[in-house]
Amino acid sequence: MIEVAEQPDERQADVHAKRQMDRTVWRQLLRRRDYLQLLSVRLSGQFADGVFQASLAGTILFNPERAANAADIASGFAVLLLPYSLLGPFAGVLIDRWSRQRVLFAANLIRALMVLGVAAEIAGGVHGGPFYLSALVVISVNRFILSGLSAAQPHVVRPFQLITANAIAVTAGAVVTAVGGGLAIGLRHLFGAGNGGYAGVALGAALFYAVAGLRAGAFGSRQLGPDDDTRGHRDSVRNVLVGLLEGGRHIRSHPSVLRAFVVIGVHRFAYGVTAICTLLLYRNYFHDHGLFKAGLTGLGQIVLAIALGGGLAAYLTPIAARRLGYTKWPALLLVGAGVVELVLGLPFQPATFLPAALLLGLAAQGVKICVDTLTAQRVADDFRGRVFSIYDTLFNVVFVASGVLTALLLPETGKSVPAIIVLAVVYLATGLAYLTAPDPERYRGELSEPRPAEAA
């Protein structure tokens, strides 16, 4: 009798092959000079973002020379983010027209100069409308740059490398933003907590914005796209509106992208509520307890925990998304976020908020990586700029709406059991709906090219 040798388990073989693919793509990306150069533009700018945002937060919320209540916080969110959210899509159309290299070069240098002006305002005690308007301009330029970086990414990597490239870029950007914020908090202890100290912190951001601009200037003027021949076209307001509508129709023609936008919009609303609750709790309710701090230092711990969660997402998401798909993996993350809100949020203790921040950071970053990658792969290059600008606008409008609503409705302490329960329900319902919804495009994250055996 002839015995037939047992065949290897096909599933195990496939998992092993995918792991090999993940490692191969990481090695390839770390050898791509153009990708690393674009990554350095992002990291320099987002490190400066962390420093600048910490200086603003300290100036508005924790400066003993100023006073702020929940309404001030809501006004700050609205003034700093909502106007750009309404104007942001116009930037996307221009990103599809202009050289993205020139946009990244000029915009970074411009915002470096503008930060110098904001630092002077902080030192001089300027507050109210003029101060918020100056900060608004800097943040508006920042969102414009991030949209350009996202649109440029497919020009420095191959299609099968895109999810890993996005995971590295987006998560590393979030991590260095947190590091920049943490450094700013440390400098605040060195410089002092008054106007002069926060002005000195803001000056540090200008240096790294300038570095980002110089790194972008090293690219060729056409190297980052766009691919069309309309760079010399002068856009009127009508052209911009038409281009924006075309971007919206392009999104609607891709059901998987449209559904992903809805899901991340709901997630951003819940995340914004959580952010304001946390800010108010650390400002007005929590007290120092051993290693767990309150105030600005405690918020620094939260930011670092979120960054660590984002780092875990960068490692796990490319692996999980290739196995589970761009729908199931973020859906599971949202369900997990709902559980975290109930288990770790309801005790209202710093000791539980830190691990909650880590896990919610993992979920937030994992969902964003999947949506970024799905959008970049499914949207044509001619539309990427305006689509990512719509994406950024959705991010800001929903976050601002949730922040304003939460700041005005929650008690000054930020402690609200009903708010935590509602957040948990929203996360769980959104995750389960996304998990069970049919995908008409059957887009499960398969590679768009054969698996490479050689380095790119």
Q: How many helices (H) and strands (E) would you count in the chain?
A: 13, 0
Confidence of residue 452 (pLDDT cuts 50, 70, 90): very low
447, two tokens: 């590679």
Q: Can you give the pLDDT at residue 83?
A: 61
The answer to whether the beta carbons of residues 311 and 361 sit under 8 Å apart is no
| Side chain identity, residue 305 | A
Kindly provide the residue ranges of all beta strands, DSSP E only, lying in 245-295, ordered along the sequence: none
pLDDT score at 422: 94
Q: Is the pLDDT of residue 238 over 60?
A: yes
| Higher-scoring residue by pLDDT: 20, 440 | 20
**Is 147 within the bounds of a domain?**
yes
State the chain's mean pLDDT as an integer. 81
Does some domain include residue 83?
yes
User: What pLDDT, on a 0 to 100 scale, did the predictor assign at position 432?
Assistant: 94
Model pLDDT, residue 64 = 61
Radius of gyration in angstroms for the set of CA atoms belonging to the chain, rounded to a whole number: 22
pLDDT at residue 3 tops 80: no
Q: What is the mean pLDDT of residues 43-47?
A: 95
Average pLDDT value for residue range 334-349: 95
Task: Name, of 77-91, 187-201, 438-452, the range with top average pLDDT.
Answer: 187-201
Task: Look up residue 6 and give its DSSP letter.
Answer: P
Q: Within a domain: residue 449?
A: no
Q: pLDDT at position 303, please?
A: 83
Give the DSSP letter of residue 343: I
Distance between CA 41 and CA 48 in Å, rounded?
11
pLDDT tens-digit map of 352-367: 999 999 999 999 999 9
Structure confidence at residue 228 as a pLDDT band (50, 70, 90): low
pLDDT tier, 139 (very low <50, low <70, confident <90, very high otherwise): confident
In this structure, is residue 235 part of a structural domain?
no
Q: Which pLDDT band, with edges at 50, 70 and 90, does 53 fall under?
A: confident
Give the domain range for residue 168. Answer: 25-226+251-436
CA nearest neighbour of 272 among 163, 151, 394: 394
Task: Compute the average pLDDT of residues 331-358.
Answer: 95
Contact indicator for 54, 178 with CB cutoff of 8 Å:
no
Contact between residue 388 and residue 375 where contact means Cβ atoms under 8 Å apart: yes
Domain annotation covers residue 234: no
**Greater model confidence, 434 or 230:** 434
Average pLDDT estimate for 387-392: 79
Give the model's pLDDT for residue 6. Answer: 43
Which run of H or of E encompasses 76?
helix 70-95
| pLDDT of 232 over the 60 cut | no
d(CA 227, CA 341): 44
Is 20 within a domain?
Answer: no
Q: Domain of 279: which CATH number?
A: 1.20.1250.20
In a domain, 12, yes or no: no
Q: What are the distances in angstroms from CA 59 to CA 67, 140, 202, 209?
A: 10, 19, 10, 20
In which band, very low, low, confident or very high, does the pLDDT at 258 lie, cut at 50, 70 and 90? confident
The DSSP annotation for 133-161 comes to: HHHHHHHHHHHHHHHHHHHHGGGTS-GGG
pLDDT of residue 430: 95
Distances, alpha carbon 45 to alpha carbons 53, 212, 216, 301, 341, in Å = 12, 5, 11, 22, 32
What pLDDT was estimated at residue 240? 67
Q: In the structure, what pLDDT confidence band is assigned to residue 120 with cuts at 50, 70 and 90?
A: very high
**In terms of residues, how long is the chain?**
456
Does 446 score more than 60 pLDDT?
Answer: no
Most confident of 66-80, 227-241, 298-312, 419-433: 419-433
User: How many Å is the maximal CA-CA distance in the chain?
Assistant: 93
Distances (CA, A) of 34 to 155, 183, 207, 218: 9, 28, 23, 10
In a domain, 240, yes or no: no
Domain count, the chain: 1
Statement: residue 208 has pLDDT above 70? yes
Confidence of residue 2 (pLDDT cuts 50, 70, 90): very low
Averaged pLDDT, 390-403: 81
Q: Residue 195: its pLDDT value, please?
A: 78
